[in-house]
Structure 1
Amino acid sequence: MRLRHPDGQVVHLAYGTNVHPAEDLPGILTQLDVYAARVRSHLDTAVLGLGLWLAAPVAAALAAEPVLRRRLRRELDVRGLEVVTLNGFPYEAFHAPVVKKAVYLPDWADPRRLRYTMDLARVLVDLLPDDAARGSISTLPLGWRDPWDSPQVGAVNRALDQLAYGLSFLDRPIRVAFEPEPGCVIENTLQATVHLSRVDPRYLGVCVDLAHLACAWEDPVTAVQRLARAGLPVVKVQVSAALSVDDPGAPALAGYVEPRFMHQTRSRGCAASFDDLDEALASGADGPWRVHYHVPLHASPEPPLEATTGVLRAGLAVLLGGPVAGCDHLEVETYTWGVLPPSQRPTGPQQLAAGMAAELAYARDTLHDLGLKTLEPR
């Protein structure tokens, strides 16, 4: 969906397709009909934005073959779908039975990460709508924090220089956004200003994931101001909500322990930090806790659990509620639908599409409250 900010900028709102498991072109095209077309119908919108996830093998194939890129663009166009942003965080196998720390590999010290990201950039050049101002790619915050040594730092700095250099030669403006996440080398915006202090801000910046921001117990206003002072642009925003609980002994919390994804858990002010929810539950640490578990934006978890939608709304307000838009690419990224507790889990494609549409409607309505207007005709 497209919205107009009061300053005149077009703001793109999309849903992240990394919720779906397909990792080849036929599977991705099937997703467009099974899910995206249904979401567009639910929202009754002329054009639906996708934050497309392309696993490394299909990204490489598309980057190598212009005819495949043209085919994908046609398939998007005929369905009323558009892509201005790609989710380049997971490399591949994001829906394997166990993902956990593997999602942070290869990291930015590994040449495969640079190749993958440049493949995505080349693909995005040909997927961008003709009237789009620019494209964006979100990526991991360099890597998992341990191990992280001087040789890796040197390799990362060289890779980021090569990335900016490669982006400068593309036919359309494409920017790459590093997404702070708990447990990683860049966990919060303060660490972003340190580790990204030497990047070229014309091409590289930050992806603010509002669930991650909440888990780091960061104040949205302070975080955005910190990035601005450092000259780091907010290239993209992940419109997401984390799980929150005042009393970690609440029985409902144990229902969110699952084997696929990492659910880093932080107590208030990050006084206690755990790499996964089961570790936190075994620790007996005092609450309140925030858990890196992306929960649906429009539906509250089972009480006494809550979602950090207050942080989400505050983040959108500081970025888009002022006289100038602080970001123009937004992606609703609830990739955890398939591992939610059974009572909240969709039972089929129709329910999943309806849930994703409800999330997008929630995000759209929140932006309307901030003064943005939907551009797309009914």
Structure 2
Amino acid sequence: MKTKYGHLTYCSNIHPGESWSDHFSHLQKNLPLVRADLSPDAPMGIGLRLANEASLELIKPEIITEFQTWLEREGFYVFLINGFPYGSFHKTAVKENVYKPDWATKERLDYTLRLFSILSQLLPAGIEGGVSTPPISYQFFDATDSDRKQRIAVATKHIINVLFHLIQIEKDSGKTLHLDLEPEPDGILGNVELWVQWFLDVFLPLVIPEIQTKWGLTKEVAEHTVRNHIRICLDVCHSAVSFEDNQTIVKLLKKNSIQVGRIQISSALKVVFSEQPKETMDFLVSFDEPTYLHQVVIRSDDGKLQSYPDLSQALQRGGKPFEEWRIHFHVPVFLDSYGLVSSTQKELVELLNLHKEFSITNSLEVETYTWGVLPKELQIPMAESIIRELQWVKKILESERSFGVTR
């Protein structure tokens, strides 16, 4: 839905299924209920998650026409696509496989190009659209620095291919589409600073001369074109897990003229080991589930950071007094605590307040996808869950001074 601070939606990766019929059935069931509650008198935007299998179906003219007819009839529009998870994302062990195929593969390139072809047909005139994607790859896929450099080199060339495709789409249709690379702990671009370093030191120097040659543009116009189509996806859960400071992030992006394709509105788990350390550890075991990666970053009382690829490894280590743990677990944003542990809701509210001040992006997407693996007492019906999340975000955006609410 359109708000004073941009288009607000939720990411449909909350819904299970890999085929287009799976995806569409969940949208038909839940979206009208959400719109009736939150945007009954105006069209509502969709953050569409498309698995590779679903994209192969939706790209067919008769299928996409049927979807377009439904969107128009029901009052919806698609302006974002989540292109991070390529395959299965629910009810199976995903873990580090969420990065596969990565950007060093033709499969990832072809999938992403297909998503942009779909988005270019669905996107209404006058609105920019983006596809989110992994931060190149998972850092533990490579045994040596040499292997990682080679992977980055191949991946960067593939991303350049996507960029050329987006430039051509804009020339042909007038629609601006952008690829939103999403930093995530243990990704090759694991945080915002690493993303900016890659963009400035690797991507821009390589691609600007190619654009100048291919399209006959000046260096300044070529650089502006790159920055318009290659953007960062700012997932607030991920930055909170890495203990990144929100004000520092915003200053870094502003200083280097990095465009934010979207803010993914999300919260991580936060654990402060002060009282009841044993009871807290026992409670955390209920979040150690086999589906998703739950990277953990621990800050000791002297400020040093230590990271673990998954919660199970951190649990084996155990908690110590005065430590703070941040756990990659997309918990509901409307809550700030879960019994003995809390969330990074405070950090999320801070980022939303900065967005209200600096207009970081025009695309806001709630990404809470872990409903199915949350402890049972935290689960409620899907449509009700989505509405509750979006209502909370609207309240934060509309309030003059926001500190977060828990009900």
TM over 0.5: yes
User: C-alpha distance in 2, partners of 1:51/1:367?
Assistant: 19
TM-score (norm 1): 0.90
Q: Which residue of 2 aligns with 1:220?
A: 246
SS in 2 for 1:207: strand
User: C-alpha distance in 1, partners of 2:386/2:55?
Assistant: 24
Runs ≥4 residues deviating over 6 A = none
Q: Which residue of 1 aligns with 2:123?
A: 128
User: C-alpha distance in 1, partners of 2:4/2:38?
Assistant: 18
Q: Which residue of 2 aligns with 1:368?
A: 398
Q: Quick one: structure 1 residues 270 and 235, their matched pair in 2 at CA, closer, same or farther if it must change by over 3 Å?
A: farther
Q: Which residue of 2 aligns with 1:230?
A: 256
- Max Rg structure: 2
**Long gaps (5+) in structure 1:** 6-10, 372-378
1:321 is aligned to 2:351: no
Deviation sequence 1:16-49 (CA, Å, 0-9, x none): 1001112222222211222112222232533332
Residues 258-277 of structure 1: pairs in structure 2 closer than 5 A: 258-268=289-299, 271-277=305-311
Give the residue type in structure 2 aligned to 1:50.
Answer: I
SS in 1 for 2:139: coil
Give the CA deviation at 1:108. Answer: 0.7
Higher helix share: 2
SS in 2 for 1:45: coil
Give the CA deviation at 1:96. Answer: 4.0
Deviation sequence 1:292-327 (CA, Å, 0-9, x none): 0011111344222111111111111222323xx220
Residues 302-321 of structure 1: pairs in structure 2 closer than 5 A: 302-321=338-357
Moved more, 223-232 or 329-338: 223-232
User: C-alpha distance in 1, partners of 2:115/2:259?
Assistant: 20
What is the aligned counterpart of 2:286 among 240, 252, 255? 255
User: C-alpha distance in 2, partners of 1:365/1:131?
Assistant: 27
CA contact (8 A) 2:336 2:344 kept: no
Give the residue type in structure 2 aligned to 1:59.
Answer: S
User: C-alpha distance in 2, partners of 1:318/1:311?
Assistant: 11
What is the aligned counterpart of 2:54 among 49, 52, 58? 58
Greater length-normalized contact order (CA 8 Å, ≥ 6 residues apart): 1
User: C-alpha distance in 1, partners of 2:52/2:72?
Assistant: 23
Q: Which residue of 2 aligns with 1:189?
A: 192
Give the CA deviation at 1:82. Answer: 1.8
CA contact (8 A) 2:20 2:57 kept: no
Q: Which residue of 2 aligns with 1:82?
A: 77
Q: Which residue of 2 aligns with 1:144?
A: 138
SS in 2 for 1:176: strand
What is the aligned counterpart of 2:177 among 155, 174, 177? 174
Seq. identity, %: 31
CA contact (8 A) 2:294 2:311 kept: yes
CA contact (8 A) 1:321 1:370 kept: no
TM-score (norm 2): 0.84
Q: Which residue of 2 aligns with 1:352?
A: 382
Give the residue type in structure 1 aligned to 2:385.
Answer: G
Deviation sequence 1:41-71 (CA, Å, 0-9, x none): 23253333221001112213333x2332222
User: C-alpha distance in 1, partners of 2:313/2:39?
Assistant: 43
SS in 2 for 1:201: helix
Q: Which residue of 1 aligns with 2:15?
A: 20
User: C-alpha distance in 2, partners of 1:16/1:318?
Assistant: 22
